[in-house]
Amino acid sequence: MSKLFYRSTRGTDNWLESSEAMIKGIASDGGLYVPEVIPKINQPLDKMLSMNYQELAFYIISKFFADFTAEELKYCIRKAYDKKFDDPLIAPLLQKDKAFFLELFHGPTLAFKDLALSILPHLLSTAARKNAINKKIMILTATSGDTGKAALEGFAGVEGTKIMVFYPKDGVSIIQERHMTTQTGDNTCVVAVKGNFDDTQSGVKEIFSDRIFSRELNRNGYILSSANSINIGRLIPQIVYYVYAYLNLSKQEKIKADEKVNIVVPTGNFGNILAAYYAKKMGLPVGRLICASNENNVLYDFINTGIYNKKRKLIVTSSPSMDILVSSNLERLLYDISGRNADTVNSLINDLNTKGEFKITAGMKNEMADFYGGFATDRETFETIKHVFYRFGYLMDTHTAVGYNVYRKYVDESGDRTKTIIVSTASPFKFPGSVSRAIDKKYKDMDEFSLVEVLSDISGQKIPETIKSLSKRKILHNTICEVGQMKDVLRDMLGI
């Protein structure tokens, strides 16, 4: 395989192979790693129709991670996309009315992050081996609920890795907490922190920036790493399901050869939609990329005005995984639309850090013409869940509903009749409170465990296994600590 190097969007950290970029996670200049070029899909799409998810994953991922051997990648893919997904298709595509829902919630934590977090641990441990790093990878994560559990599931039992997840004691739902505290795998550790999410996250950041502590860990055989969504080991595997969905449409004869499709992505950190953009750059026939935000509509404003402004209050919405004011992965798009100009990126990011906003040039804005930005309020989100459920018998979670709402707005505004894939990022069973309340207010005082049953009754869908067994599973983690004790808790886990 020919070499493909990675470079930082901020210009000073270049010529890394993918395995090195994965281990480093973020570049030393603070930038994100991007491939030198986006490889092309270099065979006719109709020759690819017989590929299953795993075969397609190999075809796409091997183009980006060219320093991995075929055996290494196949091993990672086999370990990632197996029976832990409750649908053998991994990412099934369902037609409801005129829209096609790409269901990315059939993994162990019922949300799309499973697609990337089930392969990242294997890529990382393989990368460490390739680079002759004879240390264990110690993953640290602060979580407001969802990412932490998905990371735990991904890393549990993966050789050469350990993972510690910190969550705010009173900042996660009962179901989320139970999911984490019942986590199995003797390389996993879950700790509740007395404080809110910001305190917890600051504590983790403090650990990452403490060089002396990091040397202490190195001496004891560990390197610190994170499972953050800016890691290329998470980003690249997300391209696969866009190509897969397109091929599925072809197979179902819903589109003609090379017909363009639009893609709607409920967006927070801009990782998932960036993968769709990369799929388009690889040559997939994609028309518009529709970026759906909730009331934290920074990206909506940015796409429409060219001004990114984070100086606003974070609003807590019913689609919490999209409650974000700074979308880290946007930096990779900025790099691209500036003609891969690291100086421009540096100056924009500098403006964001010092003034709280930046403005791109008209030329850069033109380069983003494929993107459409829309947003939905919480009220619209609830109405959308109810409408789609009664009209088409399809139960959506709150994040997917934001996507569907923005899709309808786009069609009404543009009259564009292009066939559209809506990315379904979470199962309705993951957010039983909001989803059932959207269907009928009478459920508003019931607890989450009972509401899961309600959702199953009204939708006729089976309760996912991971939730069903939850109340019976043994609690395996019960450590609670102060923010100031997080390092000691980590030393305890590692016995140092």
Q: Which residues bind ligand PLP (CB under 6 A)?
A: 111-113, 146, 229, 266-272, 321-322, 399, 425-426
Do 8 and 33 contact (CB within 8 A), yes or no? yes
| Pair 309, 298: CB distance under 8 Å | yes
With respect to ligand PLP, which residue has the nearer C-beta, 173 or 341? 173
Nearest distance in Å: CB 137, ligand PLP:
22
Nearest approach, Cβ of residue 65 and ligand PLP (Å): 20
Give the pair of three-digit tokens for residue 388.
């789609």
User: Judged by CB, which is closer to ligand PLP: 131, or 328?
Assistant: 328
Q: Which is nearer to ligand PLP, 62 or 229 (CB)?
A: 229
Cα distances (angstroms) measured from residue 283 to each of 40, 43, 277, 287, 448: 6, 10, 10, 11, 44
- Give the residue with the Cβ less far from ligand PLP, 114 or 177: 114
DSSP state at residue 287: E
Closer to ligand PLP by Cβ: residue 125 or 466: 466
Between CA 11 and CA 375 the distance in angstroms is 33
Pick the closer one to ligand PLP by CB: 125 or 329: 329
Q: What is d(CA 292, CA 305) in angstroms, rounded to the nearest whole number?
A: 16
Q: How far is the CB of 104 from ligand PLP (least distance, A)?
A: 9
Min dist CB 128 to ligand PLP, Å, is: 25
Residues 294 and 401: their CA atoms lie apart, in Å, by 10
Minimal distance, residue 111 CB to ligand PLP, in Å: 4
Closer Cβ to ligand PLP, 188 or 321, answer by number? 321
Q: How do beta strands 261-266 and 222-225 pair? A: unpaired
Q: How far lies 305's CA from each of 265, 357, 366, in Å? A: 20, 12, 11
**DSSP for 345-394?**
HHHHHHHHHHHSEEE--HHHHHHTTTEEEEE--HHHHHHHHHHHHHHH--
Which residue lies nearer to ligand PLP by CB, 200 or 250?
Answer: 200
Taking residue 484's Cβ as centre, other Cβ atoms within 10 Å add up to 10
Residue 420 CB, nearest distance to ligand PLP (Å)? 17
For the CB of residue 241, give the shortest distance to ligand PLP in the complex, in Å: 12
CB 150 to ligand PLP: min, Å: 8
| Cβ at position 354, least distance to ligand PLP in Å | 25
Bridge partners of 34, per DSSP, are 7
Q: With b meaning 16 or more CB within 10 Å and e meaning fewer, what string describes 65-82?
A: bbbbeeebbbebbebbbe
Return the number of the residue (192 or 423) whose C-beta is nearest ligand PLP: 423
Q: Which is nearer to ligand PLP, 319 or 436 (CB)?
A: 319
**Strands 33-35 vs 6-8: parallel, antiparallel or unpaired:** antiparallel
**Residue 96 and residue 89 in contact, taking contact as beta carbons nearer than 8 Å:** no
DSSP label at residue 16 = B
Q: What's the Cα-to-Cα distance from 425 to each of 79, 260, 404, rounded to whole Å?
A: 22, 22, 11
Contact 138, 130 (CB under 8 A): no
Q: Which residue(s) pair with 225 in the sheet?
A: 139
Measured from the CB atom, is 143 or 272 closer to ligand PLP?
272
- CA gap 290, 264 in Å, rounded: 5
Least distance in angstroms from the C-beta of 376 to ligand PLP: 13
Q: Please state, in angstroms and rounded to a whole number, the distance separating the CA atoms of residues 217 and 211.
A: 10
Nearer to ligand PLP by Cβ, of 61 and 273: the residue is: 273
Give the contacts of 139 (CB within 8 A, at least 6 positions apart). Answer: 151, 155, 161, 162, 163, 164, 225, 226, 227
